[in-house]
Structure 1
Amino acid sequence: MKIRIKGNSIRMRITQTEVSQLCKTGYIEEKTQFPQNTFTYALSSMADAPELTANFEQNKITLVLPSQIIEGWENNKKIGFSNSIFLNDKNKLSLLVEKDFTCLDDRGEDESDNYPNPKLQH
């Protein structure tokens, strides 16, 4: 799982194995260790979640997806899910969860579990 944060935007990309695990168990997470603390980011599905939303508590970002929207996601062509949450100060938090595709250019990363890039398909 990869996370990208820029301003009020959070994007998580997940591999084939992670999509499958999320669909089966309803939860996946990654941790980044620092000398003083550990940063955790996670995806969770909940039956009562009305839409894609986010929580940040105890150094952990959790994006929560409604269970019904991820049913069968590992077997269909749906790329991902997005939502914008309007904040009290009239700003918004943009959320995106998507399948991780192989890159068009070699970046030296292990992409063996990524989805085939549709732009490379014949």
Structure 2
Amino acid sequence: MAGIWMCVCALLSAAFFTSTSATLHEEGLLGLPVDIDVANVHVQQAVEFLKQHLSLTSDQKVIVENAKRQAVAGLLLHLTIKIESETLNTSTRCNIVVHTSPWINTTNIVYNSCSI
């Protein structure tokens, strides 16, 4: 009788684990980058930060093409941006990763593929 209950418990545990991991996979696992809207407030704050720290001129426009967020010890924003220069009629595509820690009010560029 005890053997039957152990089998039932094992089967229920397996069913619960399978349904839980399927749910986590659909929603995205904690810590993995997930797509976010380019109009997200964190993305817009990161763009303002980038405008100041990349020494962009007033004729250069930043367009966010793709954005992902990743929960770490803070927030990582993986951005694909295009920097367009109106006067030179040129554009540069960059991948940039910005790390923010709002509780200590810091923002840093972790990765920057731009060569402007």
Range class of TM-score, shorter chain = under 0.3
Structure number with the higher helix fraction is: 2
Larger RCO (CA within 8 A; separation ≥ 6): 1
Q: Name which one, 1 or 2, has greater alpha-carbon Rg.
A: 2
Q: Scaled by the length of structure 1, what TM-score is found?
A: 0.25
Q: Scaled by the length of structure 2, what TM-score is found?
A: 0.26
